[in-house]
Amino acid sequence: MTTVLTSLNQALHRSLAASPDVVVLGEDVLDPYGGAFKVTQGLSSAYPERVLTTPVSEAAIVGMGVGMALRGLRPVVEIMFGDFLMLAGDALVNHAAKFRWVSGDRARVPLVVRTPMGGRRGYGPTHSQSLEKHLMGAAGLRTVAASALIDPGPILESAILADDDPTLFIEHKLLYAQQVGEGLIGDEFVLEAGVGRYPTLSVRLAGAPPPSLTVTSYGYMASLCLEAMHRLAYEHELFAELVVFAQLVPLGLAPLAESLHQTGALLTVEEGSGILSWGSEVVSGLIELLGPAFRAQRLCASPVPIPASLTLEQAVLPQVADVMRAALALNDVGRSAPTRRPNG
Residue type present at position 276: L
Alpha helices (H) along the chain: 4-18, 43-46, 58-70, 89, 99-102, 152-162, 219-236, 254-263, 278-290, 310-316, 320-330
Task: Characterise 170 by phi-psi region: left (phi > 0), alpha (psi -120 to 50), beta (else).
Answer: beta
Is 127 known to be catalytic? yes
| CA–CA distance, 218 with 283 (Å, rounded to integer) | 15
| CA–CA distance, 114 with 127 (Å, rounded to integer) | 15
Residue from 13, 95, 127, 172 carrying the catalytic annotation: 127
Residue 41's nearest CA partner among 15, 14, 6 is: 6
Sign, CA dihedral 215-216-220-223, equals: positive
Bridge pairing between strands 240-245 and 200-205? antiparallel
Q: Half-sphere exposure of 304 toward its Cβ, with a 13 Å CA cutoff?
A: 15
**Helix axis angle, 278-290 to 254-263, nearest 10°:** 70
N-to-C CA span, the chain: 42
Q: In residues, how long is the chain?
A: 344
What are the residues whose beta carbons fall under 8 Å from the beta carbon of 64, sequence distance 6 or more?
Answer: 25, 54, 75
Peptide bond into 250 cis (omega under 30): yes
Residues with a catalytic annotation lie at: 127
